[in-house]
Amino acid sequence: MFDLFHRRRANHLERALAAIAAATTDYEVIAQLRASARRITGADRSAVLRREGDEIVALTEDATNRLWGGLRIPLARSVSATALRSGQPVLIHDLLDDARVPHSRYDPKEVRGAALYPIADLLVLGIYWRAPCTPSAAVRSSAQRLAGGAAEAIRRLRGETPPVQSREPMHVASASLPIGGAHK
């Protein structure tokens, strides 16, 4: 059962990467990210955010109930902007324990753990869990591949050459994290 579960996620990741690579517009890339991120990572929620001027805008989300549709956050108060500036993923085990997080923007019953993956210098793939969570290495690798494929597609659509991107996360909010990505 365990192998079948991981094989299905891996198959879905490969299909998503192929669809992203074939995208002819930014919208198609964003739609594919929205459609696949939760299924690939096992997260409770995912969102695609975009830098617009001095704000981060929540473009779309995949969740049982919407929290952020159209929400605009100043870059200076956005953890997503940290991921964009550094060009590296940001992992947050528990949003309530992280001083960088504007707590008023999150419902603690809906969002506690987060992983934010920059895409080119424009988008962020946000993956969220209801409980404090540090995603496993396999989940981080899958999310990084998905974000990396989207970055390559965005750069291709812009006519740019993709640079080499780091695959290691930039920040983890707590020193006492569970090993292996346990959710609780």
Query: Where residue 48 sits, what CATH number does that domain have?
Result: 3.30.450.40
- Evaluate whether residue 101 is within a structural domain: yes
CA distance 42 to 143: 10
In a domain, 79, yes or no: yes
- Checking if the pLDDT of 161 tops 80, the result is no
Residue 165, domain member (yes or no):
no
Q: Which domain holds residue 57?
A: 2-158
In a domain, 180, yes or no: no
Encoded tokens for 83: 């991921």
Please count the structural domains in the chain: 1
Phi and psi (nearest 5°) for 49?
-120, 150
- Is residue 176 situated within a structural domain? no
Q: Nearest to residue 57, comparing CAs of 34, 41, 74?
A: 74
User: Considering the domain boundaries, does residue 99 fall inside one?
Assistant: yes
| Within a domain: 125 | yes
- 35 close to 53: Cβ distance less than 8 angstroms: no
Dump pLDDT digits (tens) for 39-63.
999 999 999 999 999 999 999 999 8
Ramachandran quadrant class, 103 (left: phi over 0; alpha: psi -120 to 50; beta: rest): alpha
Candidate from 15-29, 30-44, 88-102 with smallest mean pLDDT? 88-102
- Is residue 138 one of the residues assigned to a domain? yes
d(C-alpha 111, C-alpha 113), whole Å: 6
Please state, in angstroms and rounded to a whole number, the distance separating the CA atoms of residues 127 and 119. Answer: 13
